[in-house]
Structure 1
Amino acid sequence: MAQLLAIDWGTTNRRVYVLDANGAVLATDRDDRGMLAMEGRDYGAELDVLRGRYGDLPVLIAGMAGANRGWREAAYRSCPAGIAELAESICWMEPGRTGIVPGVSFDSGERADVMRGEEVQVLGAVQAGMAEPDALLCQPGTHCKWVEMAMGRIAAFTTAMTGELFALLRRDSILSGTIAGTVTDGEAFRHGVAQARRGDLLANLFGVRAGVLLGKRDAEESASYASGLLIGADVAARPLDRPVTILADPELGGLYATAIELCGGTGRIADSHTAFVAGITAIWRAL
């Protein structure tokens, strides 16, 4: 029997999970009603539609619905943060009925960082036994998160604009006509990772175009090479002294696993959706 609607409300997409009392997924749906599409719309009315579809259930939301551009800002919880800290800081829209999970913040004194939604996944990965309590986790994407866990709690994290930078270069830079191809894990991607390990990322990026103009690289391989440069630079900057749990789909996760291996580490891919369900279920039980 359905007991909870759990929503991973991202910037561009939204995924809904219908969970039973044990946290098992009874139904799931994904649409394009992310935070950006919700501007000018009524979040409460959207939930009425979902409840009409799946049942009049409690709702627990993670992600950008709790941002300052979302439904209501759910204040960040400072590191270290675990399931208990997130549960006690839920932003209730309707007490006991509709709540938003807070994001997590990190401040080293020299660098500040924030996350929303990813905290549920990384905590869930530990809860589900997909990662060790003191693991290093990587969440590739538009903004790649590298999360250090300590005793099952988020101790510190770093966000790299890897995916966003690749998209910007592809769309709005001098490289736009050069890196339009498909990114694959092959010789060009691995060469990009190797070059990134030597440093000088900005010069190497310009060299993507120059290499094609001078016939040193096939234009079809340039997207993979440029992706290797960016992912390689991201990975090479991280401590790889322990296995990395990569929360991603096999395609993007596979690129990061390759880069981690080439940089001397070990990466293993874990399902981010399973991790989210485990995390949101643990928070729900802690309420």
Structure 2
Amino acid sequence: MTLPEPAFLAVDWGTTNRRVYAIDATGAVVARERDDRGVLGVAAGAFPAEVEAIRARMGPLPMLCAGMVGSTRGWVEVPYLPCPAGFGDLAAGLHRIDARTAIVPGLSSTTARGGDVMRGEEVQLLGSVVAGMAPADALLCQPGTHCKWARLAGGSVTGFRTTMTGELFALLKRHSLLSDFLSAEPVDGAAFREGVAAAQDATLLGDLFGVRANILLGHRARADAASYVSGLLIGSDVREQAIAPGEHVHVLADPGLGALYGVALSLLGASPVLLDSAAAFVAGMTHIWRHDDAFES
């Protein structure tokens, strides 16, 4: 059986990782690759060579990039688009590198609390709607190093808030008093759920120090520390969002982290809906590509 020919390349170019998808005219992924060539792994001025290397491996095709490649540390800084913003705004705001290469702009949100920004997540958020994975009016959560909580109305992102949940866990694991206790991978279980429950008291800073003290005093098993701390952080993250009881929250994440957020959301009275973040990204990039006639083949 002959595989369909790819029509364009979609690149999710993050800070530390990069995902490349070869996508055919129907929106199906023909080939994919993932590596550690995020923007921090590419020297200034080396992005054109990186792009040509991708094309040498995956085909000399039009390329649509999203993520930190459009940041101050990336290939070229692309201005943020203010919310509310939908696919029409993203397509109109594409930054053309050349006739065959473009970068999707990120989004900004401003409230009484201050400003917020995202790059790359906007494609997943809007892609989940065009793919039929999430309704046009929804609350979406994108866990990760920096978790995004976004509101959509009428298929546009109306606003969002970013939390440093994943980064805090990584910093605690590598550089804190708790480093020796956080070697295990967090998993759902009694310790994780205890952490989620404890987070509702809004005493995070003291509870974190208490992790070490309770292990030293024999009140908590060392093996449970990572799951408990993860529960504390994710539980605090969910608590901050003031989600209405029973409200559906569409979670765009890898299965492991998405499942933990799903547990925390359920324990705190919300109704999580777990979505495939990669599929949402592909759907979003395909939608932009199909509705833009400026690319040369």
Would the TM-score normalized by the shorter structure come out above 0.5?
yes
Question: How many residues end up aligned between the 2 structures?
Answer: 286
- Quote the residue 2:130 is aligned against: 127
- Quote the residue 1:75 is aligned against: 79
Q: Residues 24-103 of structure 1: matches in 2 within 5 Å?
A: 24-40=28-44, 42-95=46-99, 97-103=100-106
- Quote the residue 1:161 is aligned against: 164
Task: Tell me the SS of whatever aligns to 1:267.
Answer: strand
* Alignment partners' CA distance in 2, 1:76 and 1:34: 20
Task: Quote the offset at 1:88 in angstroms.
Answer: 0.1
The CA deviation string for residues 89-134 of structure 1, in whole angstroms up to 9 with x for no partner, is 0011003x10000000001132210000000001000110111111
Q: Indicate whether 1:182 and 2:182 are aligned.
A: no
Task: Tell me the SS of whatever aligns to 1:239.
Answer: coil
- Which of 135, 139, 147 is residue 142 of structure 2 equivalent to? 139
Q: Which piece of structure 1 moves more, 34-43 or 69-78?
A: 34-43
Structure 2 counterpart of 1:285, one-letter code: R
The CA deviation string for residues 237-277 of structure 1, in whole angstroms up to 9 with x for no partner, is 11323211111111110100000011111112111010000
Structure 2 counterpart of 1:204, one-letter code: D
8 A contact 2:44–2:75 mirrored in 1: no
Task: Tell me the SS of whatever aligns to 1:45.
Answer: helix
Q: Residues 204-223 of structure 1: matches in 2 within 5 Å?
A: 204-223=207-226
Task: Quote the offset at 1:54 in angstroms.
Answer: 2.1
Task: Quote the offset at 1:41 in angstroms.
Answer: 5.1
Structure 1 counterpart of 2:36, one-letter code: D
8 A contact 1:199–1:233 mirrored in 2: yes
Task: Quote the offset at 1:55 in angstroms.
Answer: 2.0
* Alignment partners' CA distance in 2, 1:182 and 1:115: 27
Structure 2 counterpart of 1:249, one-letter code: D
8 A contact 2:45–2:75 mirrored in 1: no
User: Structure 2: which 5+ runs fail to align?
Assistant: 293-297
- Which of 225, 234, 237 is residue 234 of structure 1 equivalent to? 237
Q: Which piece of structure 1 moves more, 242-251 or 189-198?
A: 242-251
* Alignment partners' CA distance in 2, 1:170 and 1:16: 30
Task: Quote the offset at 1:4 in angstroms.
Answer: 0.5
* Alignment partners' CA distance in 2, 1:246 and 1:78: 23
* Alignment partners' CA distance in 2, 1:273 and 1:183: 22
TM-score by length of 1: 0.97
8 A contact 1:247–1:270 mirrored in 2: yes
Task: Tell me the SS of whatever aligns to 2:105.
Answer: coil
Task: Quote the offset at 1:142 in angstroms.
Answer: 0.5
8 A contact 2:64–2:102 mirrored in 1: yes
The CA deviation string for residues 156-179 of structure 1, in whole angstroms up to 9 with x for no partner, is 101000000011111111111122
Task: Quote the offset at 1:145 in angstroms.
Answer: 0.6
Identity of aligned residues (%): 54
Q: Which piece of structure 1 moves more, 123-132 or 175-184?
A: 175-184
- Quote the residue 2:259 is aligned against: 254
Taking only aligned residues, the RMSD between alpha carbons, in angstroms, comes to 1.0
Q: Residues 189-208 of structure 1: matches in 2 within 5 Å?
A: 189-208=192-211
Q: Which piece of structure 1 moves more, 51-60 or 118-127?
A: 51-60
* Alignment partners' CA distance in 1, 2:113 and 2:234: 24
Task: Quote the offset at 1:182 in angstroms.
Answer: 2.2
8 A contact 1:67–1:73 mirrored in 2: yes
User: Structure 1: which 5+ runs fail to align?
Assistant: none
- Quote the residue 1:275 is aligned against: 280
8 A contact 1:247–1:269 mirrored in 2: yes
* Alignment partners' CA distance in 1, 2:136 and 2:43: 38
- Quote the residue 2:295 is aligned against: none
* Alignment partners' CA distance in 2, 1:245 and 1:229: 21
